[in-house]
Amino acid sequence: MTILEMMDKRKKAWEAAKNFAESHRTENGTMTDEDYGTYQNMEKEIADFTREIQRMQREEQMEQTLAQPVNSPLIRKPMKADMPEEKTGRASDEYRRDMITALRTNFRKVSNLLQEGVDSDGGYLVPEEYDHRLVDILTENNIMRTLGHKITTSGLHKINVTATKPAALWVEEGGQLTFSDATFGQITIDAYKLAVGVKITNELLFDNAFNLEGYIIQEFGKALGNAEEDAFLNGDGNHKPLGIFHANGGATADVTTGSVGKIDSDDILNLIYALKRPYRKNAKFIMNDATIAEIRKLKDKNGAYMWQPAMTLGEPDRLLGYPLYTSAYAPAISAGDPAIAFGDFSYYNIADRGTRSFQELKELYAETDTTGFIAKERVDGKLILPEAVHLLTVKQSGSGS
């Protein structure tokens, strides 16, 4: 079954659930326990469709990434004046081939060429081609790399942000002109080390038919992407990025739900209009997958459901017309904590420093006849303009609204 067919099935299931809810209300506007149980099963079917669509989309993206050609085809005539520039260092085919040899021999065969790419911790810098493919997979497995602004740094990177904005003044005829200057603060982007490991059985490692590089890139990409997304959303800035949902230095947390422990339609509207109009042009929602179960029931003042499933392949679901992204690392609904982020996430800066590297885990898994490898990167992330993203906090018993 194709993704489009699954999306069509989800759309029909959603329409059926809405019609069932409207046609099975009692005189008080509620449903009986039996009908509500049926409706919950219909909701679960919609959630199952959504989960499977997302899985199929990730699978399709992964296949496209792994199907990319290793080398670019020769499309020009072999004339001397039109010869492509010879690749050297990490960009060369020799470096890539030597990296495969080193991986398959647990770095017992390391060429002189690879020795030129040793990082400060003793790892070997990955070939440029691998790095590009890793970044592609990182982006596919990390919504913040899709929504945020990516920069490359070589050291501490200071970003100027406006602390106070200039104001225009009315001046009477012949009056003196006075100007207020904008003042600027600084946000520093650093680089923190992130390392993940994978284990491979020695049988597979030495089997030349096994696509070792594709497997390693895929596994490292998924692991790095998951760890990054968690940090970009929840990190405390202590040897890791500072997350959107963190209380100190994250997004602006100035909207609280009207009810204890739950979210209603007015809360979503309050969150949207707490964000200044310029940021709403490119605004999106981020929330936990489980939060969708609550949001899906909400209606606007006209009685229309606020959540709408995506109808087109590759498009996100929408909430009141704004794209909605879900993450397993976004906080679940919990009294006293933020549950939904809304804003322009392009103001979240993701800083990559240098290139990624591979390193072997010597003797660690010898007893199980497996070989371990580590992938390392240096990265940081910060929301440079907190007013560009707002958080909806779930009301706690006894707290104000």
Q: How far is CA 204 from CA 96, 149, 165, 273, 358, in A?
A: 19, 38, 60, 55, 18
Q: Which two tokens stand for residue 394?
A: 């779930």
Cα–Cα distance, 313 to 42 (Å, whole number): 23
What does each C-alpha distance from 372 to 209, 280, 375, 378 come to in angstroms?
20, 46, 10, 20
pTM assigned to the model: 0.73
Scanning 202-354, the segments in alpha helix (DSSP H) are: 202-205, 212-234, 265-274, 277-280, 292-295
* Residue 207: predicted pLDDT: 79
Minimal CA–CA distance to 356: which of 143, 130, 156?
Answer: 130
Query: Does residue 280 register a pLDDT over 90?
Result: yes
What pLDDT is stored for residue 113 in this prediction? 59
Question: For the chain, give me the number of helices (H) and strands (E)?
Answer: 11, 14
Average pLDDT in the chain: 81
Nearest to 202 by CA among 96, 106, 98: 106
| Mean pLDDT on 131-142 | 84
Q: Determine the pLDDT at residue 269.
A: 95
266 bridge partner residues: none
Using alpha carbons, select from 288, 193, 302 the residue that is nearest to residue 239: 193
Those residues with Cβ within 8 angstroms of residue 355's Cβ, 6 or more apart along the chain or in another chain = 90, 125, 126, 128, 131
What is the pLDDT at residue 109? Answer: 66
Could you give the CA distance from residue 257 to residue 401 in angstroms, rounded to a whole number?
7
Alpha carbon 249 to chain centroid distance? Answer: 19
SS3 187: strand
pLDDT of residue 333: 94
DSSP state of 118: B
pLDDT number for residue 401: 44
Q: How far apart are CA 243 and CA 224, in angstroms?
A: 16
Smallest Cα–Cα separation from 352: which of 193, 186, 178, 133?
A: 193
The pLDDT value recorded for residue 234 is: 96
Pick from 253, 218, 333: which is nearest to 287 by CA?
333
Q: How far apart are CA 143 and CA 323, in angstroms?
A: 12
Give which of 356, 377, 376, 358 is closest to 106, Cα–Cα.
Answer: 358
Q: Classify strands 284-287 and 322-326 as parallel, antiparallel or unpaired.
A: parallel
Instruction: Please report, for residues 132, 258, 338, the alpha-carbon distance to residue 335 in angstroms, rounded to integers and kept in the order given.
Output: 42, 12, 8
Fold of 89-162+183-242+354-379: Major capsid protein gp5 fold (3.30.2400)
Q: What percent of the chain has pLDDT over 90?
A: 29
* pLDDT value of residue 108: 66
Look at residue 62 and tell me whether its pLDDT is greater than 80. no
- Which has more pLDDT, 160 or 140? 140
- pLDDT, tens only, 325-350: 999 999 999 999 999 999 999 999 99
In the predicted model, what is the mean pLDDT of residues 35-54?
85
d(CA 117, CA 130): 14
Q: Running DSSP on this structure, what letter comes out for residue 248?
A: T
Q: What are phi and psi of 362, to 5 degrees?
A: -70, 125
What does the domain layout of the chain look like in residue ranges? 1-64, 89-162+183-242+354-379
Find out whether 285 and 323 touch, Cβ atoms under 8 Å.
yes
- Alpha-carbon span 305 to 299, nearest angstrom: 4
| Lowest mean pLDDT segment, chosen from 19-33, 63-77, 131-145, 159-173 | 63-77
Picking from 72-81, 155-164, 294-303, which range would have the lowest pLDDT averaged per residue?
Answer: 72-81
**DSSP β-bridge partners for residue 159:** 187
**233 — phi, psi (to 5°)?**
-95, -40
Phi-psi sector, 303: left (phi>0), alpha (psi -120 to 50), beta: left
Q: What does residue 309 show for φ and ψ, rounded to 5 degrees?
A: -70, 150
Q: What is the pLDDT of residue 391?
A: 97
